[in-house]
Amino acid sequence: MMTAAIFTAEDKHHPIPGLPGLTAAERIVATHWPAFHRSGLPSTTNHSVQAYAEVNHGRWTIRCPWCVTCHNASAEDHRFFCTHCSNGAGGGQWVSVIWPEERDEIETLLGNRPLPEQRNWVPTETVEDLRRENIEHGVVA
């Protein structure tokens, strides 16, 4: 069975003409945060708060630690800034994003699932959980 790609922000948020050199995480902010054109990108990171990368419908995403917003996760820039609440509770700063050490294995197991809506993973799940689910549903690697 061919493994489907699990997408990251780099796959969805391409370079912006006139704003070269931005990471995918920065391009999300530049494109979707109304205050960007007034204040630019946040300049600091609040290391006391963390967000976690997870997979939702075949996309690596990050849930805001304070509100209901979710953004695509950048595999290259492990920072998150919510374009909805402006990380207000976190001092308006970036927060660090924690990625799983087993990322490759998670992507392989989820990529073998036939439909994007079946490709989900949250940090409380183990690789063994995913493997067991695949077996229970007849997904072969």
In which region does residue 108 sit, left (phi positive, over 0), alpha (psi from -120 to 50) or beta (all else)? Answer: alpha
List CB contacts of 79: < 8 A, sequence separation 6 or more. 25, 45, 94, 95, 96, 97
Whats the size of the chain, residue-wise? Answer: 141
Q: How far apart (Å, rounded) are the C-alpha atoms in residues 125 and 20? A: 37
Residue 74 lies inside a defined structural domain of this protein? yes
Which structural domain range is residue 54 located in? 9-100
Q: Specify the DSSP element, H or E, that contains 63.
A: strand 59-63
Q: How far apart (Å, rounded) are the C-alpha atoms in residues 61 and 12? A: 12
Residue 85 lies inside a defined structural domain of this protein? yes
pLDDT at 1: 57
Residue 108 lies inside a defined structural domain of this protein? no
Residue 19 lies inside a defined structural domain of this protein? yes
Residue 121 lies inside a defined structural domain of this protein? no
Residues of the chain with pLDDT under 70: 1-2, 141
pLDDT at 2: 63
One-letter amino acid for residue 115 of the chain: L
Residue 132 lies inside a defined structural domain of this protein? no
pLDDT at 73: 98
pLDDT at 140: 77
Q: Specify the DSSP element, H or E, that contains 10.
A: helix 9-12
Q: What would the two tokens of residue 9 be?
A: 């922000």
In the chain, the number of structural domains is: 1
pLDDT at 141: 63
